[in-house]
Amino acid sequence: MSQEISSKGASRRKFLGTSAAAAGLSIAPGVSLVSVAEAKPLDKSISSEQRWGMLIDTNKCAKGCSACVDACNTENGLNTGDEQLSRQGQKAQWIRKVDLRDKLTGHEVSLPLMCQHCENPPCVDVCPTGASFKREDGVVLVDKHICIGCRYCMMACPYKARSFIHEELLNQVEDVPRGKGTVESCTLCVHRIDEDTNEQRDPACADACNTAGHKAMVFGDLKDANSELSKQLKQHSSKAIRADLKLNPGVRYRGI
Amino acid sequence: MKYLHLMLAMLTVLLLGSNTVLADVPSPTIPKGNAEKCVLPKDEMRVNHMEHILHQRDETMYDGIRTEQFSFKKCINCHAVKDDTGKTVSHKDERHFCNSCHTYSAVKIDCFDCHASTPNSRDKVTAAGGKQ
């Protein structure tokens, strides 16, 4: 019993130590002015101690604004003009704007919709090759090296978040390999997440939304109680789209 | 099996050193990289580059490990070949670094079906990973 207590004490000390190191400016234990996310060294593996997610406030999302969509296209090289023969609906799209209107009241909301990075992703369940997978930190990806392009995942996804590449691509962005015959979707900008920087780097969409002044997208670690995301989720009521499917998506919405 | 490679290599050295008959055999012209030296000795890279890249590929894909030694991006950045106009050639060009040997040895690779074959706008990522 005494051993148990002492080990608890040790882990608590360790916790306090690391959290003190992570906090940039602290005035008293547990009270910080500026918190700085701890950078993951490039050679360190990701872990399930984190789960990346996002909170989208539809009240702040402006109708007609497509800053997030444009930023995503640029960041991931989706609009390089390589897809010449594909119809509009066939072209790769990782994030799209959806406008909803309540028929009864006429109330309108506009929101960005992308891969919701489910805890229990149906795309992973149905993948016959194991190409569709969830990283330890909750990001759902496609390993294009083993994707055979069967598109079962596209049918399984209730959010219609995935795209299939029908044509040969030549102008990929170096951080984002993409190619003909494979399925792809929002990666939460993993190449940014994995970067060894002192500050947390938001995905391109959230970055653009902040720059545009709407600040409707908050990105962060769902498992870190001190992250801005967790604080906002605790404070405000939020919803998962199609919560009835019990997929526990990492992306949540306010105002719907 | 391991020694077979070694014996073959020794045999090749012997042949190259003592015999001039092989001088007529066409050999690939491999462009020099842009750095002082490669991440590993040339001989090791020539034989095993694909193993290193493959290993790094899975570590990056599944574990988010993005160290630079065997980063595919770094290979492309360092081994960029420019044409007469100063433009970097893509994998569609036979002068591309990978093509210089893969065409010679008739080994088809599909890396560039998905990966960028030229350094592009975001190659300015510094050693620390941050942007300049």
What gap in Å lies between CA A9 and CA A39, rounded to an integer? Answer: 26
Q: State how far the Cα of A146 lies from the Cα of A202, in Å rounded to an integer.
A: 28
Token pair for residue A214?
């709407």
Report pLDDT for B121. Answer: 55
Show Cβ contacts of residue B122 under 8 Å, excluding neighbours closer than 6 positions.
Answer: A173, A174, A175
pTM for the whole structure:
0.80
Low-confidence ranges of chain A (pLDDT < 50): 1-26, 32-36
The whole-number average pLDDT for the span B84-104 is 92
The nearest alpha carbon in chain B to A134 belongs to B62
Percentage of chain B beyond pLDDT 90 is 58
Cα(B65)–Cα(A46) distance, rounded to whole angstroms? 8
Residue pairs spanning A and B at CB distance below 8 A: 72
Greater confidence (A149 vs B120) lies with A149
Question: What tokens were used for A56?
Answer: 């989208």
Return the pLDDT at A22: 45
Closest Cα in chain B to A143: B61
| pLDDT for the residue numbered A196 | 81
Q: Give this complex's ipTM.
A: 0.80
Residue B131: per-residue pLDDT: 34
CA distance A69 to B100: 39
What's the CA gap between B116 and A173, in Å, rounded?
6
What amino acid occupies position A237? S
How many CB atoms neighbour CB A82 within 10 A?
19
| A125/B contact by beta carbon, under 8 A | no
Asked if residues A252 and A55 have their Cβ atoms less than 8 Å apart, the reply is yes
Which chain A residues are within 8 Å of B87, Cβ to Cβ? none
Q: Tell whether B116 is within 8 A of chain A (Cβ).
A: yes
* A49 shares contact with chain B (CB less than 8 Å): no
Are A182 and B66 a contacting pair at CB < 8 A? no
Q: Are strands A52-57 and A31-35 parallel, antiparallel or unpaired?
A: unpaired
Of residues B13 and A250, more confidence is placed in A250
CA A71 to chain centre: 14
Distance CA A94, CA A44 (A): 28
A197 reaches B (C-beta below 8 A) = yes
Question: In sequence order, what are the beta bridge partners of A133?
Answer: A141
Structure-model confidence comparison of residues B25 and A102, the more confident one: A102
A29, A192 contact by CB (below 8 A): no
Chain B: residue whose CA lies nearest to A200: B130
Token pair belonging to A93: 């799209």
The verdict on a CB contact (< 8 Å) between B61 and A197 is: no
Q: Compute the radius of gyration of chain A from its Cα atoms.
A: 20
pLDDT of residue A21: 47
**A109 close to B (CB below 8 A):** no
Assign 3-class secondary structure to A81-106: CCCCCCCHHHCCCCEEEEEEECCCCC
Task: Inform me whether the pLDDT recorded for B13 exceeds 80.
Answer: no
Q: Looking at residue A181, what is its pLDDT? A: 97
* Nearest chain B Cα distance for residue A73, angstroms: 14
**A186-217 residues labelled b (16+ CB within 10 A) or e (exposed):** bbbbbbbbbbbeeebbbbbbbbbbbebebebb
Q: Which residue of A has its CA nearest to B125?
A: A195
Whether B68 has its CB under 8 Å from any CB of chain A: the answer is: yes
Q: Beta strand A163-164 with A140-142: parallel, antiparallel or unpaired?
A: unpaired
* Spatial separation of the C-alpha atoms in residues B60 and A46, rounded to whole Å: 10
Vertex B115: Cα angle to B54 and A119 (nearest 5): 75
Q: What is the pLDDT of residue A40?
A: 80
